[in-house]
Amino acid sequence: MGLLETRVSLNNSADIIRKFSNYYVLNNYSHHYNGRIWFFLDTRRVTVISSQRLWDELRGLAGKVINWIILGDFNITNKRGVAAHVWSRLDRVLSNPSWLVEYPNTQVNVLPSRISDHSPLLVVVQESYKPRTQFSYLNCWVEHKEYDGVVLQAWGLPVRGSVMFRFFTRLKNVRQSLIQLHKTNFSGISKKVQEAKKDLEKCQLQLQLRPLDPILFEQEQQVLKRYLTFKKTERSSLTQRAKIQSIKYNDAPTSYYFSKIAARKHQSIIGRIKDRQGIEKFGTQEVNHAFIEYYRWLLGQKVDVNCAHMIELKGAKILTSDWEGLCKEVTETEIQSDVFSIDSNKSPGKMDFLLTSLRNHGG
């Protein structure tokens, strides 16, 4: 464990060291009168040879630790007086992407500062949270040989109703068909890339021993083609899921994409919330319950409305011509125009995943 900015005087340092009798304690009183840096190492688990070697190992720790998280002062209030508070948000809880991949449910609670100038930070790794899977259209599906047939068959199923109802129903049918296409041909693409890579290396090793063997040469070409296809599909999928528009390197590590995806998922998790009474709720079940109870209170009450006592709202009013335009039926041309305006390199949701197929088949 390491502590910074301790500001412990030399006279009080002995009391702290006695409380950590099982730890090897290292500080920097030789360089600062308040010993601003302290390190505690459990001697039951760590063998300390010398102070110099310890510092050398600490310097090289950054390249060895896979998952790390660093805490600093968060909300700082310089309490110069009742009316002279100076607020400054200087410190953070920082982690590397690997930490979010390993512990995606990490939450930070900022506690009251009380008499201190700093607010304590409490890091909590909550229970496993699996967010609801959201459908996202992937551009790599278009290159599959069965894509056109799957989309046309699902889109062509007979549907009765208004234009908008038919559109949503066909959208739902295509979505279910594409999900099945993904499970059959694209699920576990990263694993398929690694397997194809091993097959390619094995084939190339055999080709080095028998370079004139035409069968091995043909086999190597087929395996190479399969590997490049899987690699291209993986890259396209991860680029969309990570919301990366462009990347500098042609062969960036897959861990970079997964770390970006993990960071985006972490941003969408609500780990804590205050209920109607102002009580803070933690965890998936309590947060869900707080949401349900709030909207049940907000929307579940029956109120008698007397139009005679309604107050006329001031401001701009909708003209009759505008009202008629809002109420008229949506046309297929309007739907197609809106869908075509969406960027094809994003990861669309269920409202716009037919962009590519509509472009290919003209609606």
Residue linked to tokens 């979505």: 175
pLDDT in tens, 168-220: 899 899 989 998 998 888 888 888 888 999 999 998 888 888 888 888 889 88
What is the per-residue pLDDT for 350?
A: 46
Q: Alpha-carbon distance 88 to 303, whole Å? A: 46
| Residue span of the structural domain in which 295 resides | 270-303
Q: In terms of Cα–Cα distance, which of 146, 143, 133 is closest to 230?
A: 143
Which tens digit of pLDDT belongs to each residue from 2-13?
887 788 888 888
Same domain, 89 and 103: yes
Residue 303 corresponds to which amino acid?
V
- Digit-by-digit pLDDT tens for the chain (363 residues) are 888 778 888 888 888 888 888 888 888 888 888 888 888 888 887 776 666 676 677 667 666 777 888 887 644 445 555 555 556 656 678 887 778 777 877 888 777 777 776 777 888 887 665 656 667 778 888 888 899 999 999 999 998 888 888 888 998 999 899 989 988 888 888 888 889 999 999 988 888 888 888 888 898 899 999 888 888 888 877 777 666 555 544 445 566 666 666 766 666 777 778 888 888 887 778 888 888 888 888 887 666 666 656 666 677 777 777 787 778 887 878 877 877 777 666 655 544 455 444 444 444
In a domain, 280, yes or no: yes
164 in a domain, yes or no? no
* 129, 266 Cβ separation under 8 angstroms: no
Classify residue 58: in a domain, yes or no.
Answer: yes
Q: In the chain, how many domains are there?
A: 3
Residue ending a domain, among 110, 125, 140, is: 125
CA distance 2 to 37: 7
295 belongs to a structural domain: yes
Residues 60 and 70 in one domain: no
pLDDT number for residue 58 = 64
Q: Are residues 50 and 78 in the same domain?
A: no
Which of 259, 281, 303 is the C-terminal boundary of a domain? 303
Residue 358 sits at φ, ψ, to 5 deg, of: -65, -35
Q: What pLDDT is stored for residue 231 in this prediction? A: 86
Q: Does any domain span residue 222? A: no
36 and 76 both lie in a single domain = no
User: What ranges make up the beta strands (E) of the chain?
Assistant: 2-4, 23-27, 37-42, 69-71, 75-79, 85-89, 93-95, 106-110, 121-125, 272-274, 280-282
